[in-house]
Amino acid sequence: MKWQCPFCNHIQTVTDAKSKEKYLALDVGSSKHKNLAIAAQVVGCSNPECDEVQVRVSIGRTWENSQHGDYRDHIEHFNIRPLSTAKPQPEIIPETIREDYYEACKIKDLSPQSVSDAFSQMHTRNDQGLLFS
């Protein structure tokens, strides 16, 4: 599969040796979600200068009485490493703006209103001439 590393932006073809996906059935008896399962995906970057790993976890459902945690019906998805989908930013962008961007990306899936506030702050700084000065 084609994949772009979230740490170094290097586009690469991922081999089976650099990609793993594991499933786990979570039997807690009766719940409105029924037959929960977790899927964990890990991809390793082949760029030797980066050598990072991307880790994501998803919650879904499995078939009743599944012993292997067969995964279906995606419910939620979480970025574990890196914590967000933020792209690395060049140092030409002021550090405060980069930090605001990284923070906004971290929380965008959890709190859309907080992201809106963070981007409003960035626009305010831009209007005050703090960006790209």
| Residues in touch with Zn ion (CB under 5 A) | 5, 7-8, 45, 47, 50, 52
Q: How many CB atoms lie within 10 A of CB 91?
A: 7
CB of 52 to Zn ion, least distance (A): 5
User: CB of 77 within 8 A of CB of 58?
Assistant: yes
Select 18 or 108, whichever has its Cβ closest to Zn ion: 18
| Residue nearer to Zn ion on the CB measure, 5 or 104 | 5
- The nearest distance, CB 42 to Zn ion, in angstroms, is 13
Q: Which is nearer to Zn ion, 4 or 120 (CB)?
A: 4
CB atoms within 10 A of CB 69: 19
Please state the separation of Cα 125 from the chain's center in Å. Answer: 27
SS3 95: helix
CB of 51 to Zn ion, least distance (A): 7
